[in-house]
Amino acid sequence: MPTKNGSKYFLDVEKSHLGQKWVARLDRAEEAITIAQKFDIPEILARTIAGRNVEFDEIENYLTPTLRAAMPDPYILQDMELAATRIADAIINGQKIGIIGDYDVDGATSTALILRFVNDLIDLHADGADKFTRPEFYIPDRQAEGYGPSITAVDDLAGKGCELIITVDCGVLAYEPMKYATDQGLDVIILDHHMAEEKLPEVLAVINPNRQDDMSGLGHLAACGVVFVTLVAVNRVLREKHGFAAAQLPNLINMLDLVALGTVCDVVSLTGLNRAFVNQGLKVMGQFGNVGIQSIAEVAQIVGKIEAYHLGYIIGPRINAGGRVGDSRLGSVILSTRDKDEANSIALRLDGYNQDRQTIEKNVLDAAFYQAEQEITDDLPNVIIVSDFAWHQGVIGIVAGRIKEKYNRPTIVIGFDATDGKGSGRSIPGVDLGRAVQKAVEQKLIIKGGGHAMAAGLSIRQDQLAEFRAFMETELSADVVEARKNTSLKIDGALTASAANMKLLRTLETLEPYGTGNARPVFVFPAHHIGFAKIIGKGHLKLSLRSADGSKLDAIAFGAEDNGMTKLLTNHGGKAFHFVGNLKVNRWQGRESVQLQLIDVAAIDY
């Protein structure tokens, strides 16, 4: 896009209305031309692909992601053959498996995968109910127990006759409960994806692509992805060691809807194997073979094709609501049940919990924002840490994410109960929050904690807060300064209102699913005028944009009242602006149209 005086900024926007630099995602147009010619695709599609740094020899798999092409040999993961053999032997010998899962969507989908796997195996055999044993599972209460395996969980499953315990989306840092389990004579297999320390729990097997000695290159998987790969290995053992025919084994493809849901909701990178998981999983989900997902979609009134957006912002929050403010078991139950009446009942309960969660979240968010605003200057602190005794621990992760988005710095929100508190943190690209929290644990600055680069959880005493705050500021300041310095809004190209049509959107659908690591395309509409602007809902703004040739484009700006767009764009005085956003399909009363979802706007310097 032409700029003035050799500016490196897109349309010379060095500081937009939201204070962002606008830069071109792709600075070498020749790459896009080569891709367009080689793969016979439109140049705008080629430009968008090139801007996402897809390797040239991976473009075909990117455009048509398949599990066959992306799936590695499961045994590439450390301990996999040992774990798969033990799980298969437990199933064959009728031993009861106990699952300890997390209370979030990744934990619920991971738990449901194993439950469905064994239940399907039982149904595929005439004598399955006599030969195989249905698993038990334990999901801790977020408020009363907190994250991860506990001695209480081990005792509960052991008391129900479990001989093999599998932890999913947790366990890699649970040294004491895991030792307790093995001391009781139980075999333990950990299926996790969180950052591991060099020393691992003393259990039978630890399957975790983020353990320090794992060379699989699968560190981007969510826990549900790790579980799925493990079940592929279990199927192999059942086939090769125990002589099962293909028709006697669970069809894992039919379970990809769960993997897609957990992968999107855990906000891991939608590249490589994850991209194949979500792409194929959305197709499976569209068939509504999982009555639990179907019931949630019906209660949430999802219309049309289910997309990754629906997983992350509509279905996922309802499943999470059970763990946040209700019954933590409900997510795993609804995702594994085959009883439509039960699914309908739980979906209604989760919807109610989600409404409760929204009310609680607003109260905590308002208080946390106020506290953060009192603390923040232009550049300090680099890590925001806010806390209170009145904050519900079920929503602190969401609140941390909102504060992080507003101030563009890592944020930890802590809810205290008496003297102890639980915290949840969210980070920005380039700042590894999980590793810093883990280091704080090693230095005994907090009780426990862990996570990954973009998110972390912790337990802390009130008397540790000041020292922990100082440590995090020192530990992460340099990374935060560098990350914030490089913050910019990356733009894929410039369009006019007339070019934003359904044909373009159908072309761009090839790039889906969108998410972390595969951002939805961002387009700028230069020098467009405002036809009308109307406030709708709770602080949103609906607009009609008009290009120089008279073409019109509907647009919507969510949260415009809070970020100042409403004031700017309703008092435009006839001036034109540069508008930036994502193009989406707007479905209304059976009709489809193109709508620009605004991200940012810039006044034109005449």
CB 352 within 8 A of CB 125: no
Q: Are residues 81 and 147 in the same domain?
A: yes
For the chain, the farthest-separated pair of C-alpha atoms sits apart, in whole angstroms, at 80
Q: Are residues 37 and 183 in the same domain?
A: no
In the listed set 211, 235, 252, which residue is the last one of a domain according to the structure?
Answer: 252
| Model pLDDT, residue 606 | 53
Q: Are residues 13 and 129 in the same domain?
A: no
In the listed set 252, 269, 291, which residue is the last one of a domain according to the structure?
Answer: 252
Q: pLDDT by residue (tens digit) across 507-537?
A: 999 999 998 889 999 999 999 999 999 999 9
| Model pLDDT, residue 2 | 46
Q: Are residues 82 and 40 in the same domain?
A: no
| Model pLDDT, residue 517 | 86
Q: Are residues 514 and 583 in the same domain?
A: yes
Helix (H) or strand (E) holding 411: strand 411-417
CB 577 within 8 A of CB 525: no
Burial pattern 460-499, b for ≥16 Cβ within 10 A else e, equals beeebbeebbebbbebbbebbeebbeeebbbbbbbbbbeb
| Distances from the Cα of 239 to the Cα of 82, 134, 249, angstroms | 16, 20, 8
Residue 287 lies in a domain: no
CATH number of the domain encompassing residue 141: 3.90.1640.30
Residue 263 lies in a domain: no
In one letter, which amino acid is 500? A
Report, as ranges of residue numbers, the positions in the chain whose pLDDT lies below 50.
Answer: 1-2, 5
Residue 417 lies in a domain: yes
DSSP 450: E
Cis before 135? omega within 30: no
Long-range contacts of 583-590 (CB under 8 A, 24+ apart): 583/500, 583/504, 583/505, 583/508, 583/521, 583/523, 584/505, 585/502, 585/505, 586/554, 587/303, 587/304
Residue 13 lies in a domain: yes
CATH number of the domain encompassing residue 533: 2.40.50.460
Q: Are residues 125 and 152 in the same domain?
A: yes
| Distances from the Cα of 542 to the Cα of 18, 533, 559, 595, 597, angstroms | 18, 6, 11, 10, 10
| Model pLDDT, residue 516 | 85
Q: Are residues 82 and 112 in the same domain?
A: yes
CATH number of the domain encompassing residue 384: 3.10.310.30
What 3-state DSSP class applies to 286?
Answer: coil
Residue 329 lies in a domain: no
Please, what is the Cα angle at 80 between 76 and 83, to 5 degrees? 175
Cis before 513? omega within 30: yes
Beta strand residue intervals within 55-172, DSSP E: 96-101, 136-138, 162-168
| Model pLDDT, residue 143 | 80
Q: Are residues 539 and 573 in the same domain?
A: yes
Q: Which domain holds residue 124?
A: 71-252
Residue 283 lies in a domain: no
Domain count, the chain: 3
Q: Are residues 570 and 444 in the same domain?
A: no
Q: Are residues 410 and 513 in the same domain?
A: no
Angle between helices 151-159 and 175-183 (to 10 degrees): 30
Residue 294 lies in a domain: no
Q: Are residues 481 and 503 in the same domain?
A: no
In the listed set 485, 512, 537, which residue is the last one of a domain according to the structure?
Answer: 485
| pTM of this structure | 0.89
| Distances from the Cα of 171 to the Cα of 191, 206, 216, 335, 454, angstroms | 8, 9, 20, 22, 19
Q: Are residues 399 and 476 in the same domain?
A: yes
Residue 570 lies in a domain: yes
What 3-state DSSP class applies to 519?
Answer: coil
The CA distance from 216 to 143, in Å, is 35
| Model pLDDT, residue 7 | 62
